[in-house]
Amino acid sequence: MQRRKFLALSSLSLSTITFSSFKSIAPIRKPIVISTWDAGIEANKAAWQILRNGGTALDAVEQGVMVTESSQNCCVGLGANPDRDGFVTLDASIMDHQFNCGSVAFLERIKHPISVARRVMEKTPHVMLVGEGAQQFAVAEGFKLEEKKLSSEAEKSYQNWLKKSEYKPIINIERTKGENAFAPNKLETGEWNHDTIGMIAMDGNGNLSGSCTTSGAGFKMRGRVGDSPIIGAGLFVDNEIGAATATGQGEDVIRICGTHLVVELMRNGLHPEEACKKAVERIIKAKGIEKSKQIQVGFIAINKQGEYGGYCLQKGFNFAVCYADDKNFLEDGKYIL
């Protein structure tokens, strides 16, 4: 009996030792930045310039996604599809390595919601500002109030959508035209409905930060807010463990506190890819397989070793990974359904 107990104990401690020493000898890859979808390549380039020059992960994730918010090729930001009443409303969040975080939701006519989110984090006692109040704050902080006008593509797409006025999320809409393509063909049909970039990074000091910015689901109900500005849903960072961000149908990410779950799974020792996979499985468990087939959700994550991974529900999600001047590439997310 005694001997059996001893053997059980020693194998337990052996596996603990092996596991923790494995963790501690895993090579640390830093700096590193990863971000969702094809647009992540351009965003990573901007973030990488900051990281390679010794800048902070926080600056990198803000300035990285600002590229996407400004891009004409992408539906993140003011060029995006409007809600069903014809207004573009934006959500964004940012989080640093000390649990500081800021977010804005239902924000109109401001070009860089991510920077407003950062000001909320740095200059207010709050975490989240929404709607008119968020806009007032932005203007008081010197952000320009842009004209209330849809981009020509969004206008076309909205007019088309109005013919049926039917809200129907369509999975993987960003990538209907092969490698590196958004979906200009879908502009004609009003079906371009995923409009997000999430970015997470570790800087040379080993500090993690993340950002997430979106126009949300195209033709959504007025006032609808997705997962992207909700800390623990669309974005979460715990500097001891790792960081995660999400894309896809926000309602289903919120339901399971998706990115918080991913980080907690990494805390339990899972590799980022495995953690993302488990979170996707949780969505399927919550929703059932048939309903899960109708939507897309993707998670990406990095840990303190600079290991990274992504996982999604359906084929078609990808993310951009950058950790050297000549290493900025797209990876397809593995999928379950």
Catalytic residues: 196
- Residue 177 beta carbon to ligand SD4: minimum distance, rounded to whole angstroms: 16
State the Cα–Cα distance between residues 30 and 303, nearest whole angstrom. Answer: 11
Nearer to ligand SD4, 123 or 222 (CB): 222
Rounded to whole angstroms, how far apart are CA atoms 331 and 175?
A: 13
Angle at 32 between CA 28 and CA 38, to 5 degrees: 140
Nearer to ligand SD4 by C-beta: 50 or 65? 65
DSSP letter for 27, please.
Answer: P
- Closest to ligand SD4 by CB, 37 vs 323, is 37
State the residues that interact with ligand SD4 by CB under 6 A.
194-196, 214, 216-217, 226-228, 247-250
Q: Is the peptide bond before 272 cis (omega within 30 degrees of 0)?
A: no
Shortest spacing between CB 56 and ligand SD4, in angstroms:
25
**Nearest distance in Å: CB 221, ligand SD4:** 12
Q: Which is nearer to ligand SD4, 84 or 194 (CB)?
A: 194
Q: How far is the CB of 227 from ligand SD4 (least distance, A)?
A: 5
Residue 301 tokens, joined:
């994550």
Q: Which of 259, 260, 231, 263 is nearest to 247 (CA)?
A: 259
Distance CA 103, CA 197 (A): 15
Residues 92 and 211 sit within 8 Å (Cβ to Cβ): yes
Minimum CB separation of residue 55 from ligand SD4 in Å reads 26
- Residue closer to ligand SD4 by CB (options 186, 194) is 194
Neighbours of 49 (CB within 10 A): 14
Strand boundaries in the chain, DSSP class E: 32-36, 90-95, 101-107, 128-130, 196-202, 208-214, 235-238, 242-248, 297-303, 308-312, 318-324, 327-332, 334-335
CA distances from 246 to 30, 83, 311 (A): 22, 21, 10
